[in-house]
Amino acid sequence: MPTLSDRHAVVGEIGPTHLRFAVADIDELAMDHYVNFRTAEFDSIELAIDAYLTSLQDRPARMSLAVAGDVAGGQARLLHHPWSFTAKQLHDAFSIPTVSLMRDIEAVCRSVPLLTQHDLLRIGEAMPPRVGPKAILLVERDVEAAAAVPVGPGWKAVLGRAGDISFGAEDGDELLVLNSIRRGPGRMVLRNVLTSTGLAGVYDALRQHAGLSASAWGVSEIIEAASLEEPDPHARETLQRFATWLGRLAGDLAAAYGAEGGLYLAGSLPNDLRNVLTEGTFAASFMAAGGPAGFASTVPVHIVTASNVALRGAALALS
């Protein structure tokens, strides 16, 4: 198979439910040959990549993948899915000279400083742009955090482990809900609450407190039920609680990172919830967080609406 110039690369976003691939010009960040596969359609990462490469007339000599999981020492382990693989494994399987692996939050963090207003939806009041760290929350099946910190003419990605942060209740009602979704003894952590599975768990907890059975609904069904002309009160309360809790976390992270450059909500869940997050509850919770000095009230907040930010970040890792 012919190869493209070394300024082109296969870039990918590897998640537990979806796989996105494209061919990127790593100088211009232009992309084509975009595909979106379901992860469940493939028994291995090699089969998924082979299906994509087979569709290309020319094969780039470089590959960069953003993985929704843990990446260390050239080895990746996907969360919420049994795949694990190494850069060497993919190099050997496809004879691609350069293979780069990174966490998806790192890829998103790399691309955020280059986003334009066309890629963003503002939450709350417009704030004058300021130079400073940009805090990023990636919320999907897991919750991840990072900061893009200005260093000289560029940016440095500082990665966190938000999913492992303890989540505490602020009043008796919150404690009741959290105890209902607690999975065994030990700490309640953010990935049990501020994720798509956490949101569904809160909804079922509220139903059970009202004497109803669990629903087995996912995010889309809960959002739809909350938006009916006569909304499901438990769905509505679930979304309001989620917006409050996410705003609280976002405000605390903005303060912790000193995020004068803004707070950015990325991932599928903030986009699914954009109507809820822009109606006021999130903004009020965000501005009240971060301590009595009111730092968070000066931080601009945006939802990242562009769907290819992880692919852009994967390309930037090779530039």
Q: Label each residue of 137-178 as H, E or C.
A: EEECCCEEEEEEEEECCEEEEEECCHHHCECCCCCHHHHHHH
In this model, does residue 5 exceed pLDDT 70? no
pLDDT in tens, 123-153: 988 788 789 999 999 999 999 999 999 999 9
With a pLDDT cut of 90, the percent of the chain lying above it is 80
**Shortest CA distance to 20 belongs to which of 307, 319, 270?**
307
- Average of per-residue pLDDT across 223-249: 96
Please report where in the chains the tokens 């953010």 appear, as a residue. 190
- Structural contact between residues 244 and 238, judged by C-beta atoms closer than 8 angstroms: no
pLDDT (0 to 100) of residue 290: 61
pLDDT digits (tens, 9 = 90+) for 83-97: 999 999 999 999 999
Separation between Cα atoms, residue 52 and residue 49, nearest integer Å: 5
Q: Is the model's pLDDT at 293 over the cut of 70? A: no
The per-residue pLDDT for 248 is 93
Report which DSSP code applies to 40: G
Share the mean pLDDT of the chain. 93
| Beta bridge partner(s), residue 123 | 301
Helix (H, G, I), strand (E, B) or coil at 221: helix
C-alpha pair distances (Å), 86 with each of 39, 40, 46, 218, 270: 18, 20, 11, 32, 30
- pLDDT for the residue 3: 54
pLDDT of the residue at 50:
97
Q: What is the pLDDT of residue 1?
A: 46
The confidence score (pLDDT) of residue 292 equals 61
Output the pLDDT for position 37.
Answer: 98
The string of pLDDT tens digits covering residues 71-124 is: 999 999 999 999 999 999 999 999 999 999 999 999 999 999 999 999 999 998
Across the range 225-234, mean pLDDT stands at 96
Percent of the chain's residues with pLDDT above 70: 96
pLDDT at 17: 94
| Residue among 82, 144, 85 at smallest CA distance from 310 | 144
255-284 pLDDT, tens per residue?
A: 999 999 999 999 999 999 999 999 999 999
Chain segment 32-79, per-residue pLDDT in tens: 999 999 999 999 999 999 999 999 999 899 999 999 999 999 999 999
